[in-house]
Amino acid sequence: MPENAKTGWLRVVGLGPGDAAMLTPEASQALETASDVLGYTTYLDRVPHRPGQVRFATDNREELDRARHALTLAAQGCQVALVSGGDPGVFAMASAVFEAMEHGLPAWRALDVAVIPGISAMFAAAARLGAPLGHDFCAISLSDNLKPWALIERRLRLAAQAGFVMALYNPRSKARPDQLAQGFAILRAELPPDVPVAFARAVGSAQERIHLTTLEAADPALVCMRTLVLIGTAGTRLVPRPQGGAFVYTSRSASA
């Protein structure tokens, strides 16, 4: 371990949605030069092993502990890459790092810390579909691990009333099997039944699946934690293709 703490740094690295082609050169450089790499096991498994590099894998719900560990290592002089899937600033590790910094050792604030962006799942999914995020949109996590479900319900209702296309993260899991169905019920009370809905599962991996349906017909049983759910608006359109399927876009001139 380096003795000079001033040589340490921390890079919060976005790995993108899964495909190595969607990993930025800046992120690749940080991963190659890091002495230590930390992350949730599933994401860390996507980082190639490099000789001499130390790896720390942790559980998904240990964000703050992981962030504190990364800051501690950087303060000790290590070159640290803390990895997240997608973009680290979207429901991921960047906010945990700065929360840990705010409430942690004063010396952490002087560290060389930078966030390296990655392609978020919503952008990867939108690109596969066409341009569903072409007009105003928002991202909402359906996980109530860190916020009450009542707040999620309110945000869904207000986003629908405001005419936002919605990207829904963490839509459904074994521990939360019914919340997506509840969310759809809220949206069906606010939006037309033919609003396009897309289920984009594991975009950028060999397990990628895109399912296009409508709000009326959307089946939560088709969704898992690796699925991003995109909810259109009355201004979202389909462009059918002669070979089957359709492009999805939301016009920038849409008023609803």
Residues of the chain with CATH 3.40.1010.10: 5-119
> What is the CA angle 167-169-173, rounded to 5?
140
Rounded Cα–Cα distance for residues 136 and 163 (Å): 8
Under DSSP, is residue 138 helix (H, G, I), strand (E, B) or coil?
Answer: strand
Residues of the chain with CATH 3.30.950.10: 122-250
Rounded Cα–Cα distance for residues 176 and 143 (Å): 8
Q: What pLDDT score was predicted for residue 194?
A: 96
Burial class (CB in 10 A: 0-12, 13-18, 19+), 100: buried
Q: What pLDDT score was predicted for residue 2?
A: 41
Residue by residue, pLDDT tens for the chain (256 residues) are 444 445 899 999 999 998 889 999 999 999 999 999 999 999 999 999 999 999 999 887 789 999 999 999 999 999 999 999 999 999 999 999 999 999 999 999 999 999 999 999 999 999 999 999 999 999 999 999 889 999 999 999 999 999 999 999 999 988 888 999 999 999 999 999 999 999 999 898 888 999 999 999 999 999 998 999 999 999 999 999 999 889 999 998 856 5
Rounded Cα–Cα distance for residues 208 and 56 (Å): 28
The CATH superfamily of 122-250 is Tetrapyrrole methylase, C-terminal domain (3.30.950.10)
Rounded Cα–Cα distance for residues 99 and 213 (Å): 39
Tell me which amino acid residue 157 is: R
Structure tokens at 203: 């975009």
CATH 1.20.970.10 fits 5-119, yes or no: no
Q: What pLDDT score was predicted for residue 158?
A: 98
Rounded Cα–Cα distance for residues 210 and 203 (Å): 8
Under DSSP, is residue 207 helix (H, G, I), strand (E, B) or coil?
Answer: coil
